[in-house]
Structure 1
Amino acid sequence: MKNLLFVDHKFHESTKSSDFFIEILRRRFAVDQFFVDPDVGDNGDLLEKAREAQIIVVWQMDYLASAFCALGKPTIVIPMYDGSSTMPDMHWALLRKATFINFSRAMHERVRLMGCRSYLVKYFVQPCARKDMVSFENINVFFWQRRPDHGINIQLVDKMLGETCDRIHLHDAPDIDLGHDNEIIGERNYELTKSIWFSSRAAYEEVLRSCNVFVCPRAAEGIGVAMLEAMARGMVVIANDQPTHNEYISNWVNGILFNIGGGNDTISLRGQSSRIGYSAWKSVEFGHQRWNKNINDILDLIDNAPASDLIKAEPSDYLHSLCSSFSAGQQEYVRYIQSKAHVMGDFTGGSLDDVAILLGGAQIESNKFSVPSISSDRSLPISEKDCPFLYEGWSSYEDGGYRWIEGKYATVRFSDTPSSEVQCLNFAAKSVNASGTQQFLSVILNRNQILAAPLPEGDFTNFLVRLPKGAIAPVNIIEIKLEVAERPHGDGRFLSACFSDLKFVPLEEGLKISRSTESAKP
């Protein structure tokens, strides 16, 4: 059996809402679960777990998936509409190398439009026996007040159903307790019963069995298992007109849809509840049969998901940045992935022009000005104390006119005005002098390799690299990669090479430099 890592939201560790899918995966894979707290920037040994896995399934935590693609792992992403529907296009474009399974048609179409592979499935629970369906001698409503801050609260339920029901059971257990006022204004003609929490699943189901109308507690859902369980009992489900509710419910056929804040008049159920409840039960009966037929196809899709091309990025730094930016809120996460637009082509499988289209003109301009502009003398003074162009992998400031790379990878970012003039990049570098192992240097400008050469120990070696015409873009990244990093005697850091300032020079000046010297020391 292949080893499969299932990455899930920490909240589901207690709610068990993804367990039905994990049980299916265990039919074919050895499943290791890892629960992520998106509010925490550090997620322990997630990267090590991902390296060991043969397949990775990401349930709801889709912001992490591009890091697994960067490792070259077959990555299956299962997003949830209620958690990811507001994500920008760039978020989905980063995941083009992943394979999607979508429980929502709206999400399925969204990711397909962004060039992603997606398989649409519709989950259904097993329906009860027909003889065990609820009856409708009275109208008894069950309402779990989970998100009153979203506008679905006891006052709204009272407004819609108070005049037509015999009883409302209020389960007052909000996901986030903001102290909502449960007072119902005006005369009440129905019985109101309440609970705060259930000691067991059986206690919850006992109360649910005494009701025949179910009000969905949230504005939207990722799947809507509680809704489906209610439909499977033949209950009348009343839900906000958003996915996935409106992807299962045909209004006044097998359920009823309303709009939060849309006026919502009284819903009169008497005389229609039995018909709607039976239609709900019947749709689950048919749907469950289709779901069972799809299970092997789902397992085959996961088993045969293509591996991504290994992305040449520092996975630990990238994963940490994804976690820390997302934990600071969606706005900060979006700002982070936009700031990385100049290297996102590897993830999107497209060009920088594709990325620019995804970001949009205004955002590209904003991104450009968030990256410092190159100085007027066309230099990137990386040896200076407060150099604004340094991004990843560089050591702290030290005297000497150079700066070390800690590890094997470092980047420099800058913005510039593109020019048709042929230019050269000039710098000097030397390898760490430790064990005598041969060092090799690669320099990449905007995803195009411009230098691949050995880097000797000892004195600095001067490099003059002629750039392709049009190599400079509005926003640029220089990636520097080495093969060897060692700890020099008396220094606790793992270092690979040190570099002088980088400078762009016209071709004619570059030729003069080339003729005058073959090596230089800053």
Structure 2
Amino acid sequence: MSDVARIAYIDHSFHRTTRSTEFLPEILRRHGHVVDHFWDDAWQGGPPIAWSEVASHDVVIMFQSFCRPDHPYFRQAHPNVVYIPMLDQFGLWRGPIYNLSAFWEPFQGSKVLNFSNALQSMTTAFGIASHFVRYYQPVNARPVPARQGLHGFFWLRRELQLPWQTIRRLIDGSRFDSFHIHLATDPGTPPPRLPTEEDIAKHHITTSTWFENKADLEALMERANVYFAPRAEEGIGQSFLEAMGRGQCVVAPNHGTMNEYVLPGVNGLLYDIHDPQPLDFSDVVRLGARARESTIAGRAMWERVEEDLVRFILAPSETLYAARYQHKFADVQVDPQPAASPAAASIPARLRAFVQRHAVFRSTRFIWHPMVRLARQLLGR
């Protein structure tokens, strides 16, 4: 590879609007490399990114989205593939409902970049060369002035995961001086159940549904000193990290990645989403101040390890598996297809191949795979 690397950056097209993943291409460009963006729109019926579009690049980075070559393993198609998973794509907060070994098998011999401790443990357990780094955003030099009393903010995004009724249970026994609920649910989410008149009067609740200018929403969030995380699980968690950087006390489910940043009673509060109980909000000003301090320290650490991150991305996969991986990298051969007709192939093998080709089936595996396992047990296979 030349000193300047050409990097294909395949990303979920939803991030094109949020720009929440742009920090990585910015780092690579700052180090002098060329980054070509490829936005994957397959999740909403658009065409997937063809492997032929990225195969000639020196590095292929896939951020949550996939770009599959015509090989069982990525290492057979390219010497430097980096996959970046997001913790929330696996639905682990629901419990261990399926085995992930089949999901990770194509990445054997390639590399995984993790922004979550949980994912780092998972991928290293599968023997995949992995690098872990904890992301922190730049922190505003001036903290939001601390407010006395209790002032809450909750973005109600997912009614089925984290409704107002859960938040209401957490604040039972407390009285908020102000509480704003932003009623802008994610696509496909049912309409939210609104607070009762009694709740509105008790906690001085105000609501909003839409802001033409994002700065207006941010100004509203800055009035709070208690920020209720809006999701049961996060990939990185940009929104609650912003709240910590503002000096707010983050209240979040005890799931990743929130519980990798928030230490309950130290720099925030965590709770059991399956059994929410009233929380003690008497020390939120101190917890918010500690949250800001932790993000400042975290950002400094992120900047110190930037060189290591770039080296991991540029290193050919084979150098990270030297003398400790059982499969060959050079001259890897794909077993030829049998001469028999496709109909003669085993049904399970054909189903596996079909699932690998289509992202929608991979992403919904947690729904249909338990039924497949049950069918196998019933059939004795």
TM-score w.r.t. structure 2 length? 0.80
Aligned to 1:13: 16
Is this contact kept in 1: 2:262–2:270, CA < 8 A? Answer: yes
Q: Aligned pair in 2 of structure 1 residues 62, 319: CA closer, same or farther (>3 Å)?
A: farther
Q: Distance in 1 between matches of 2:118 and 2:11?
A: 21
Matched residue SS, 1:132: coil
Number of the residue aligned with 1:199 = 212
Aligned CA distance change for structure 1 residues 193 and 92 (closer, same or farther; 3 Å): same
**What secondary structure does 2:190 align onto?**
coil
Say whether residues 1:301 and 2:305 are aligned partners.
no
| Partners of 1:134 and 1:212 within 8 A in 2 | no
CA shift in 2, pair 1:177/1:301, >3 Å:
same
2:242 aligned with 1:242, yes or no? Answer: no
Match of 2:64 in 1: 60
1:148 equivalent in structure 2: 159
Equivalent position of 2:111 in the other structure? 99
Instruction: Write out per-residue CA displacement over residues 12-56 of structure 1, whole angstroms, 9 at most, x where no aligned residue.
Output: 111111011221122232111112134367735521212221101
Does residue 37 of structure 1 match 2:50? no
For 2:270, the aligned partner's letter is L
Q: Distance in 2 between matches of 1:46 and 1:318?
A: 21
Which of 24, 28, 33 aligns to 1:25? It is: 28
Secondary structure at the residue paired with 1:141? strand
TM-score, normalised to structure 1's length? 0.59
Give the C-alpha shift of residue 156 in structure 1.
Answer: 1.9
Pick the aligned partner of 1:229 from 223, 233, 242: 242
Q: How does 1:206-355 map to 2 (within 5 A)?
A: 206-265=219-278, 267-270=279-282, 272-306=283-317, 309=330, 312-313=333-334, 321=354, 324-328=357-361, 330=363
Secondary structure at the counterpart of residue 52 of structure 1: coil
Letter paired with 2:359: F
Residue 122 of structure 1, CA deviation: 0.6
Q: Distance in 2 between matches of 1:33 and 1:320?
A: 27
Contact 1:74 1:305 in 2 (8 A): yes
Equivalent residue, structure 2, for 1:357: none
CA spacing shift, 1:367–1:116, aligned 2, 3 Å: farther
Instruction: Measure, in 2, the Cα distance between the counterparts of 1:335 and 1:69.
Output: 28
Q: In the alignment, which residue of structure 2 is the partner of 1:73?
A: 79
Counterpart Cα distance in 2 of 1:67 and 1:35 = 22
Structure 1 match to 2:323: none
- Distance in structure 1 (CA, Å) of the matches to 2:180 and 2:53: 44
Q: Distance in 2 between matches of 1:335 and 1:142?
A: 36
Post-superposition offset of 1:62: 5.4
Amino acid at match of 1:31: V
Task: Name the counterpart of 1:108.
Answer: 120
Equivalences, count: 340
| CA displacement at 1:281 relative to structure 2 | 0.8
For residues 444-459 of structure 1, what are the structure 2 equivalents within 5 Å?
Answer: none
Any conservation in 2 of the 1:85–1:107 contact (CA below 8 Å)?
no
Q: Which structure has more helix as a fraction of its residues?
A: 2
- Return closer, same or farther for 1:172/1:333 CA change in 2, 3 Å cut-off: closer
How far did residue 180 of structure 1 move? 2.4
* Deviation digits for residues 52-102 of structure 1 (CA, Å, limit 9, x no counterpart): 211011111258486643312301111111103556122113211111111
| 2: CA distance, partners of 1:134 / 1:310 | 62
Q: Is the 8 A contact 1:140 1:165 kept in 2?
A: yes
Q: Measured at CA, do residues 288 and 324 of structure 1 come closer, stay the same or move farther in structure 2, by a change above 3 Å?
A: same
Contact 1:39–1:328 (CA<8 Å) still a contact in 2?
no
User: Could you say which residue in structure 1 is the equivalent of 2:150?
Assistant: 139
Question: Where in structure 1 are there 5+ consecutive unaligned residues?
Answer: 340-359, 370-522
- Between the aligned partners of 1:333 and 1:306, the Cα distance in structure 2 is 29
Choose which of 88, 96, 106 in structure 1 pairs with 2:100.
Answer: 88
Shift of 1:251: 0.6
Q: Decide which structure has the larger Cα Rg and report it.
A: 1
For the structure 1 residues 159 and 184, does the alpha-carbon distance in structure 2 shift closer, same or farther, using more than 3 Å as the test? farther
Tell me the secondary structure at the aligned position of residue 113 of structure 2: strand
> Do 2:227 and 2:248's aligned partners in 1 also have CA atoms closer than 8 Å?
yes
* 1:164 alignment partner, SS class: coil
> What letter corresponds to residue 89 of structure 2 in structure 1?
G
Q: How far 1:182 moved relative to its partner?
A: 1.4
Q: Distance in 2 between matches of 1:274 and 1:101?
A: 35
1:318, distance to aligned residue in structure 2 (A): 12
Q: Match for 1:230: what amino acid?
A: A
**1:305: how far off?**
3.1
Distance 1:45 1:149, change over 3 A: closer
Given the superposition, is the C-alpha separation of residues 328 and 219 from structure 1 closer, same or farther in structure 2, using an over 3 Å criterion?
A: same
Residues 219-250 of structure 1, C-alpha deviations (whole Å, 9 max, x = no match): 01111111111101110000000011111111
Distance 1:333 1:54 in 2: 34
CA distance in 2, matches of 1:183, 1:92: 43
Q: How well do the aligned residues superpose, as a CA RMSD in angstroms?
A: 3.2
- 1:236–1:312 CA distance, 2 compared to 1 (3 A): same
Deviation at 1:155, TM superposition (A): 2.2
| Partner-residue secondary structure (3-state), 2:202 | coil
**Secondary structure of the structure 1 residue equivalent to 2:168:** helix
